[in-house]
Structure 1
Amino acid sequence: MISQKLARQINKGMLSHYPVIYIAGREEDRIQATLASLCKKKYDDKHSLISWSLFQGFSDTNDMQEPLQALKRISTAQQPAMYLLKDFPAVLDDPAVIRAIRDLYYILKNKNIYVFLTYPTIKLPEILNDEVYLVEMALPSEVEIHAYFQHFIEAKKLTDIISTAMTHQYTIALMGLTLNEIEHLLVRLFALKNQNPEELIAEVYQEKSQILKKENCLEFISTQQSLEQIGGLNNLKEWVLQRKILFTEEAFSSG
């Protein structure tokens, strides 16, 4: 699934004539799909996105796994292109690679060639701050999760047992996870037949708590308790009740 928000962020860097763009994000497949879509729009199907990794080298030639060789090839490219260098920031502790990135910035500045460095986290040497445009990929939005969940239940033929209201509940429960994490979770939850979709929502929160623990987050507390079960906080409760319509399926649908 393409991330429109990520596409807009990347476009800002490209419109600012940054030839080297760092994308920090955990969903590599979504990053690649988004870049492929941008490449198609920018070059009118004349050029496709070229990816590279330490393991496979370039996707169009399956060679040049060595980082400096890869950068050298890009520096001598004559045709407009977009290159996706997967996990390249992992080798940015090499002074020779840092120098090559800086050289690449000046070589490609007006060539209509763009290089994208992707990594799950930000690992950008300070010396490259001026030459590299940084983009952080956000977690999927409520709209994206809703669309993904809707697609999932349609593919699994679950639309007859999962109502619109329940879809909204699942959407809220799944927020804070990547689409990859959501996919693994949903496949497991709905693997068995005759499951009660309403009861599975509690499992979503439980699984979400376990996933977030891996990321050293604060403890996740499920929000399934009612206001009556929470002591005190009367002013806050009144505020929530006055605005509860803002968190309904109708409010979500109307934007």
Structure 2
Amino acid sequence: MARKIVLIDLDGTLTRSDEGIISSVKYAYRDNNIPVPDDKTLNSFIGPAIMDSMRRTGVSEEKLPDMVKSYRYAYRNPIFDDPKHPGEKLPGMYLNEVYDGIFEALDEMHAKGYYLAVCTAKPEPQALPICEHFGLMEHMDALYGASNDASRINKDQVVAYACEKLNYQPGEDLALMVGDRWTDVDGARDGAHLDCVGARWGYADPGELEEHGCYAFARTPHDLPAVVDEYFADRQVQ
């Protein structure tokens, strides 16, 4: 039987993560005495690799390691106010929540025999604790992310890495990406010649997913299993 593999992005697809990411980005700029970008630019940080986003704001290669270090410190350490528990602190990574309907969608796809894997440009040592903290790994089969160094940071590299680890065989298996940003669409195509279903509830700008050639769209997490079903129903292993 052919495997039906669904690679699923984390930020903006499984979780609403903007508060923690943006708070940690602001901390990094302030910690390094660099002006904090405007809100529109800050929102663009959600999805792409942090280093690439910082470069796009003009951070020099010389300054980049210090910026990433500051970001990771804020993201991993309890320095932000916990909105649910006044007086307590949280790391940026936990200023986050799973979208309504995600658990149900994952369970429905699992019940149909799909192999589900988180596929994120967030470094694995960050992504795994987040998914475990919010109970996502109980509904997933695997997790693949970026490396802590610069050897695997972009989505195409992560998709290729995931497919390699899964021993994905295009002539024997079927696979699909699900994500909310252009990086997911381009990464799926460039990393392993995969199509991508766009998550409309995420952080894409208007027209972004269409411009990059998304195969289809799910309006809400509840709609996702049906869209994935339709994709695989139209395809057969060669």
TM-score, reference length from structure 1: 0.26
The structure that has the greater radius of gyration is 1
Q: Which has the higher strand share?
A: 2
Per chain length, whose mean CA-contact separation is higher, i.e. which structure has more relative contact order (CA < 8 Å, sep 6+)? Answer: 2
Q: Which has the higher helix share?
A: 1
TM-score, reference length from structure 2: 0.27
